[in-house]
Structure 1
Amino acid sequence: MSTPIAAMVHEPLGLSLSVMKLVTAFIIAYCFLLRPFYNLYLHPLRKFPGPKLWAASRIPNAWMTVSGRSAQTVLDLHRKYGDVIRTAPNELSYVRADVWREVMGHRKSGQSENEKDQVHFAMFSNSIIGASREDHSGVRRILSHGFSARRMLEQQPLIRHYVDLLFKRLRENSAGGSQPLNVMEWFNYTTFDIIGDLAFGEPFGCLASSKLHPWVALVFKTVKQGNTLAAGRQLSPLATEIVTFFMGNTVAGQLRQHWSLVREKVAKRLSMTTERPDFIDSMTRKDKGNMTPEQIFENSNVLIIAGSETTATVMSFATYLLASHPHVMARATEEVRAAFRTESDIDLLNVQSLRYLLAVLDEAMRMYPAVPGSQPRITPPEGQVICGDFVPKNTLLGIWQGAIFRYPGNFALPDEFIPERWLGEDPRFAGDKNKAFEPFSYGSRNCIGKNLAYSEMRMILARLLFNYDILLEEQSKGWAENMKMYLIWEKPGLWVRLVPRITARSE
């Protein structure tokens, strides 16, 4: 009796084990043999050049994203394989000068646009960055009021107040040029205080306390974590769960804390009854349209990051490059000191006459763009012709600023800091393809704060050159080399000595 019973018990179990083994074998074969074989030899993108391993699986691309070396890696791949390469089974990267118009430009009547990839922008779906085509135009129309020329003039006293406070702190802490300063920190203090007041009606108090507000430090952490989550989402939902698990409760708690603070600050600003020329005012003006509470929260969050960290980053790189190239700094300094009789003459409007200083900023952004990575678009169901090649549906289209701005096919001497290339003075750069340079993106989704950012950066750098000679400290020589990038640059301290202008002349 025991033998038949045992057989009855174990037969289903044995069958189940066999099925499980078969399923497991199929999954392994699919993931490591069948799918890679299809991606390499049958996929519609198989004709595009690139490393075979990257074409077979998305894992190398994801690893690159979390490594912090993505911008340099993509540039190296383009130098090896050409101006259009395959960087994942369903993704292409371009460094052709006309690709901005091809990928992000307005389409002809009846043509579909290449929408933003919703997997990549999942955390920003209700903001101007990640909104769908249908929602974006309305959100941008509402926000554009806060960035108009008229509104910028109204905001100038507020901005100038914080710039004045910055230079007060620099004078207090530089000890006549004998005390080294981490100017990167001071730029961050200033831009976060300005954008905090413009977005929430109050600064973060960074300049007042001479240190980063705890929430600002949290912003940097959440951006880096968001970079890792984006890599996981591109792999698969399971990968996202695994990444989230390994990030742990601490990271999840930080993200919750971040969003809680955003909501708290927005609610506090909405409770104010005094009219002021800030972004919340623009988002709540009924004559411009209506934003949902969630849209106000998410757009406020985006404005804090996009309007502060990126501006401070460009100023940091510009300062480093100026201090590393004395002949460039001498020309920029001469232009500023010849243009203004007193420091109080330097404002958001007057700095627009400084052609060479603008060239310095553009060249700094060409070499070290504030957001060097890709903000991918995705082709529509009918596919799209990009730069003369048909690209099938659901293909990610990447334009890496860190690659296209340094690609030898676009710019002569691409790894050298030469602001004169933007002034039409040097015949060496007559063949440069300047239309490849779009540091604020392109088309209807370009950066809405471009004019404010340029004016703010020029005003601060002009006052810095008007007042000081900048000397790079030994510990910060080579500062920009081998710097890692996680959506934004992970920057170490930038240490300089600021020698007052009068002191410098008397030495």
Structure 2
Amino acid sequence: MPQLSILPQSFLGLAGLVLAGSIAFQLSIWVYNAFFHPLAKFPGPKIAAASYFPRCWTGIKGTHLQWVMKQFDRYGGDVIRVSPCELVFRGDASKDIYGHKANLLKDPTTYRPLGNEAATILNANFEGHARQRRIFSHAFSDRALKLQEPIFREYVDLLCANVHRDIKENNGVATANVVDLFNFTAFDIMSDLTFGKSLDQVENSAYHPWVLVMFASIKLGVLLRFIRFIPFMPDKVMKQREIHKDFSKNRVEKRLANPNPRPDIWGLTMSNEEGRGLSKPEMYGNCRVFMSAGTETTATLLSGLTYYLLQNPAKMSKLVHEIRSEFKTKEEITIEKLPSLRYLFACLEEGLRMYPPVANGLSRTTGLSSVTIDGHVVPPNTTVSAANYPTFRNPKNFKRPNEFIPERWMPGNKDFESDRKSSFQPWSMGPRNCLGKNLAYHEMRIILATLLWHFDLKLCEESNGWPDKQKNYIVLWEKQPLMCRLRAAKR
């Protein structure tokens, strides 16, 4: 009997020792990370240096960008440590991280394919990326863009026709959420280019269910980055991802089964011999990449730029005058002529600086060697990034960084000669820079120029302070409605 009373106490004592040992071990890791780790010399909050919790928590909440900005304000300098093994830069670090000579690998915690998915142009290794980029370049060339112009034109004209109808039905003024207008148009254009058929969002003035699933999938990607035990993700969450994948697969199969030689992505890609070497899983995966990278980002830039133009009436008037003076009819607004509008280009650049679609940095890893980034020696096995939003708002890079001043991008403007334009890389740089950059510029020009040719816009009072209400999930701004009143332009 005495042994029965001793056994539980011995067991409790052993359990206590194990618990105490575990706590001591975890504390030792936190202390090491905060004070003795190779990254300990870099500024940043000690709790973030010790533990991944702040990085994960702010990432999941969509507040990581705001948290990073607060840390830069607190510590100053152009680099901060945001987790035990991660540095974020805001100086002029893009060349050292993404440039042709950098050779830094994409961070596998962010870009690894999930499960047995095929690697895409977004997450393939150096050789795989080069092969896929070479194949798809035919669909994103200047020649391709000229062939694709009627596709752009169709949906932009339909958008404007819908707004004119709403204006007529509402006594000369329509009230609309322009975030939706830009999303509808960008998704219909890219769906036509990617699947050979639009999602009919502009026509129906409503989101296609697949687009809503895609937005959820982007947020899911953030969760998967920070939650290590993926099998324990809720079934509903994982099911959304499967719906997203299945829809893309079925749409690609329908397009490939159609022999119509349209100048869309698959028509131009499959017309060359190397393109026919793509595997079906590579096709499915890349179409999802194109539908996310080529849509929401364009709509985001146009939404942010519209807000800043409406908050700066003199800038808006100058842009409207340039557009309406250059084009007497809507048919004159073409991809070939739009690049000659210098102030339009300046506004797009300033919009990208003030409200970059990819606000956080694209992460890379230093691998097995130390590297020098923006003058800092960074040890091996460190995740690094040049975060666009902090970089573009850095007063060391741009004079009056928090003001919307398109004139800084006009040639010969000496007031902003001190701006460090080399730090401005919204499309990334090097061998993995954005393949669709030219397409995006043409699309943004034709949508914005056509809209401002047709309509006068005014910001509704409830949308004042619109950028301050956003959450950000790595590559997704969770945007609130941007309400505007639209009237037909007087001629």
Q: What TM-score do you get using the length of structure 2 for normalisation?
A: 0.93
Deviation of 1:494 after TM superposition, in Å, equals: 1.4
Mapping 1:61-72, distance limit 5 Å? 61-72=55-66
Q: Which among 104, 114, 133 is matched to residue 104 of structure 2? A: 114
Whole-angstrom distance in 2 between the partners of 1:144 and 1:15 = 70
Tell me which amino acid in the other structure corresponds to 1:163.
Answer: V
What secondary structure does 2:174 align onto? coil
Q: Which among 237, 240, 251 is matched to residue 237 of structure 2? A: 251
Whole-angstrom distance in 1 between the partners of 2:484 and 2:412 = 31
What secondary structure does 2:477 align onto? strand
Q: Quick check: 2:107–2:383 contact (8 Å CA) kept in 1? A: yes
Encode CA deviations 1:71-128: one digit per residue, 9 max, x unaligned.
222122223321011111101111112x111111112xxxx71110111113476111
Q: Quick check: 1:183–1:495 contact (8 Å CA) kept in 2? A: yes
Mapping 1:400-419, distance limit 5 Å? 400-419=387-406
Q: Which among 197, 205, 215 is matched to residue 210 of structure 1? A: 205
Mapping 1:365-404, distance limit 5 Å? 365-404=352-391
Encode CA deviations 1:12-37: one digit per residue, 9 max, x unaligned.
x8776655543333222222x10111
Match in the other structure for 1:344: 331
What secondary structure does 2:288 align onto? helix
Kindly report the root-mean-square deviation, in angstroms, between the aligned alpha carbons of the 2 structures. Answer: 2.0
Match in the other structure for 1:44: 38
Q: Which among 454, 457, 463 is matched to residue 470 of structure 1? A: 457
Q: Quick check: 1:75–1:407 contact (8 Å CA) kept in 2? A: no
Task: Using the TM superposition, name which of 370-379 and 282-291 deviates more.
Answer: 282-291
Q: Quick check: 2:344–2:445 contact (8 Å CA) kept in 1? A: yes
Q: Which among 222, 225, 228 is matched to residue 220 of structure 2? A: 225
Tell me which amino acid in the other structure corresponds to 1:460.
Answer: I
Deviation of 1:387 after TM superposition, in Å, equals: 2.2
Mapping 1:316-355, distance limit 5 Å? 316-355=303-342
Q: Which among 345, 358, 361 is matched to residue 348 of structure 2? A: 361
Q: Give unpaired runs (5+ residues) of structure 2.
A: none
Q: Quick check: 1:163–1:460 contact (8 Å CA) kept in 2? A: yes
Whole-angstrom distance in 1 between the partners of 2:477 and 2:448 = 20
Q: Quick check: 1:315–1:457 contact (8 Å CA) kept in 2? A: yes
Tell me which amino acid in the other structure corresponds to 1:483.
Answer: Q
1:491 corresponds to 2:479: yes
Whole-angstrom distance in 2 between the partners of 1:88 and 1:192 = 35
What secondary structure does 1:85 align onto? strand
Whole-angstrom distance in 2 between the partners of 1:416 and 1:450 = 25
Q: Which among 431, 434, 438 is matched to residue 421 of structure 2? A: 434
Whole-angstrom distance in 1 between the partners of 2:237 and 2:125 = 28
Match in the other structure for 1:313: 300
Tell me which amino acid in the other structure corresponds to 1:485.
Answer: N
Q: Give unpaired runs (5+ residues) of structure 1.
A: none
Encode CA deviations 1:442-479: one digit per residue, 9 max, x unaligned.
11111111011111111111112212211111222222
CA change 1:388–1:341 in 2 (3 A) is same
Encode CA deviations 1:384-403: one digit per residue, 9 max, x unaligned.
22223321211000211111
Whole-angstrom distance in 1 between the partners of 2:231 and 2:82 = 24
Tell me which amino acid in the other structure corresponds to 2:383.
Answer: L
Match in the other structure for 1:78: 72
Tell me which amino acid in the other structure corresponds to 1:132.
Answer: N
Q: Which among 196, 200, 224 is matched to residue 195 of structure 2? A: 200
Q: Quick check: 1:116–1:377 contact (8 Å CA) kept in 2? A: yes
Q: Quick check: 1:173–1:181 contact (8 Å CA) kept in 2? A: no
Deviation of 1:177 after TM superposition, in Å, equals: 4.0
Whole-angstrom distance in 2 between the partners of 1:421 and 1:378 = 34
Q: What TM-score do you get using the length of structure 1 for normalisation?
A: 0.91
Whole-angstrom distance in 2 between the partners of 1:126 and 1:166 = 36
1:137 corresponds to 2:124: no
Whole-angstrom distance in 2 between the partners of 1:418 and 1:29 = 54
Match in the other structure for 1:185: 180
Whole-angstrom distance in 2 between the partners of 1:170 and 1:336 = 19
Mapping 1:24-35, distance limit 5 Å? 24-31=19-26, 33-35=27-29
Match in the other structure for 1:152: 145
CA change 1:89–1:163 in 2 (3 A) is same
